[in-house]
Structure 1
């Protein structure tokens, strides 16, 4: 496994990431297991505000690890603010993590239990840093909004994404995906847990203020099954590796405080 080659298999998966990314053994790694009874109720934590009304999606792609929707982030049209954040952060992209059929696939767990999938909306601190790349390695550079997905009925809006997944079946495939507003993927209530952590994929920078919504959204098994039709590898490769179980297991808390907004 070289520095830019990593995955979720036995030899290149999370247990081996520390070989090329020593920070994997750091004190501020993500995800973690949230134990609600052990979190700190912080009445000074205000609500979070998601200013997504003018956000502009650009494309959807398969990066060989997940499916990613990218946004225009050259101005302040799509932001997260409030809560634990000192200033607004711009939306850069969102992506999903999921398991195999019938199994948990979220990265964060709650009292040791996982959800079917987890959605990450990645934002960066454009007030302090000149680019997403600069922010990604800074201690206060990123803010990631995490949303749990549990199985049940069809989600009213997720089909807008699943309907185009066939266009990005293979690694490095990309297609236009304009006009999508992720506001439709939010739960009704925005109560949250927050803690200081890291990216959950290499390079695992310890740069993330995590905001995990307590209320999950509901999606159907059929909708999640569409994600499992994606492949980890490229169209020119002979082997076909289904994209599933693309999540990192919980990491040690190492004494960090997890705060609750209510």
Structure 2
């Protein structure tokens, strides 16, 4: 996509490490789940009105280091994309938020393969051995996901949908301009997960990303010039 240039205000995240609960392999993205029963870990500011509660984060990646991100910026694809999913509590619950245009906010972070991998990614990747097959879940406690943010808070934003069926049109996307780095070995560890359960032959969990879709009149705004 080619972003429109228009200045926006800064966004802020306040996350409680004690809200982290579990990590799981659901046969699609690898997911970390958080306690969202009250305003414990929230996202505010930027294009948002009010506080949005953090519910989960997950990753999308490709079968090689050359692709895997769900957004493409000026023709550039990244090895993976991390999504932090938040919902608007004014709608009562997550299911209710899915039905509202301002129901969900997702912070997207690109992962690129480089020589200085972000050490904070290690915590998630250490748990991969415990969730090798579909349906596996393991405790994942005392984790502050804000450590995964890049230094720059510059972002693009637009109103769009989930990238998995039924693709509800309820998301305010906050896509961070600066990627974080991972190593090729770390990407290989993600690709070592299986999309099948333990009673089936292993099948690599790869290419769990949706190709970019037409903008269809959506306006993409930038927080930077």
Q: Secondary structure at the match of 1:76?
A: coil
1:222 correspondence with 2:185: yes
TM-score, structure 2 normalization: 0.96
Q: Secondary structure at the match of 1:157?
A: helix
CA contact (8 A) 2:87 2:94 kept: yes
1:164 correspondence with 2:127: yes
Q: Secondary structure at the match of 2:120?
A: coil
1:77 is matched with which residue?
40
CA contact (8 A) 2:57 2:83 kept: yes
Q: Secondary structure at the match of 1:133?
A: helix
Moved over 6 A (4+): none
Q: Secondary structure at the match of 1:61?
A: strand
Q: Secondary structure at the match of 1:109?
A: coil
Q: Distance in 2 between matches of 1:146 and 1:177?
A: 21
CA contact (8 A) 1:57 1:71 kept: yes
1:61 correspondence with 2:28: no
2:117 is matched with which residue?
154
1:253 is matched with which residue?
215
Unmatched segments (≥5 aa) in structure 1: 1-33
| 1:48-107 C-alpha deviation (Å, 9 max, x unpaired) | 001114551000000110110000001111111001001110000000000112321100
Q: Distance in 2 between matches of 1:220 and 1:156?
A: 10
Query: What RMSD in Å do the two structures reach over aligned CA positions?
Result: 1.1
CA contact (8 A) 1:55 1:78 kept: no
Q: Distance in 1 between matches of 2:60 and 2:39?
A: 27
Q: Distance in 1 between matches of 2:209 and 2:18?
A: 27
**Correspondent of 1:143 among 105, 120, 125:** 105
1:3 is matched with which residue?
none
Q: Distance in 2 between matches of 1:136 and 1:85?
A: 16
